[in-house]
Amino acid sequence: GEDVEQSLFLSVREGDSSVINCTYTDSSSTYLYWYKQEPGAGLQLLTYIFSNMDMKQDQRLTVLLNKKDKHLSLRIADTQTGDSAIYFCAESEDGGYQKVTFGTGTKLQVIP
């Protein structure tokens, strides 16, 4: 079945850039997403990228997609303490029920 993998933990200093990586196995993925989960809250969509795109930029966020290697990354520029959270990568399959598969989440710790 589909699998989405992420490293569990990332620590960065405030003001630096953060790069969170994700690999997936489903070659028929249509959309790929990044969600953010703050303590005590549900997941919130940060951004998504359609599978025919290589890059998407939204303010401090840059998403890069390498379809050949099935690799997705999220870069957060000028990381702030408010960016501390768990970040989930997810992919949606094409057709049928369009199942969404989530990664295990990467906990980002921002050090002041």
Partner 1 sequence: DADVTQTPRNRITKTGKRIMLECSQTKGHDRMYWYRQDPGLGLRLIYYSFDVKDINKGEISDGYSVSRQAQAKFSLSLESAIPNQTALYFCATSDQLTNTQYFGPGTRLTVL
Binding site for partner 1 (CB under 8 A): 4, 8, 30-31, 33, 35, 40-45, 48, 88, 90, 92, 97-100, 102-105
**Residue 11 identity (one-letter amino acid):** S
91 and 99 in contact (C-beta within 8 Å)?
A: no
CB of 17 to partner 1, least distance (A): 25
Any residues with CB less than 8 A from the CB of 100 and at least 6 apart, and which? 33, 90, 91, 92
Would you tell me how many other CB atoms lie within 10 Å of the CB of residue 5?
13
CB of 79 to partner 1, least distance (A): 23
Q: Which is nearer to partner 1, 12 or 88 (CB)?
A: 88
CB of 92 to partner 1, least distance (A): 4
Report the run of H or E that residue 66 belongs to, with start and end.
Answer: strand 61-66
Q: Which is nearer to partner 1, 57 or 98 (CB)?
A: 98
